[in-house]
Amino acid sequence: MGTTTFIDIIVAILLPPLGVFLKFSCGVEFWICFLLTLFGYITGIIYAIYILTQ
């Protein structure tokens, strides 16, 4: 786990869609995270951390 992954996780905790956007741009992963964050902040965080650590 490198420094960039650590920074990605911190950004994903603060703003989940932004963390996913920085890694995947406007792909499907971003839109899924965006919708999950709209439905519930915690679900967005969980998905963002899951997708960023794969």
- Which DSSP string corresponds to 1-54? --HHHHHHHHHHHH-HHHHHHHHHTTSHHHHHHHHHHHH-HHHHHHHHHHHHT-
Amino acid (one-letter) located at 50: Y
What is the residue extent of each domain of the chain? Answer: 3-52
Model confidence pLDDT, tens digit, residues 2-17 = 788 888 889 999 999 9
18 CB-near residues (< 8 Å, 6+ apart): 11, 12
Q: How high is the pLDDT of residue 5?
A: 82
The pLDDT confidence band at residue 1, using thresholds 50, 70 and 90, is low
What's the pLDDT tens digit per position in 30-47? 999 999 999 999 999 999
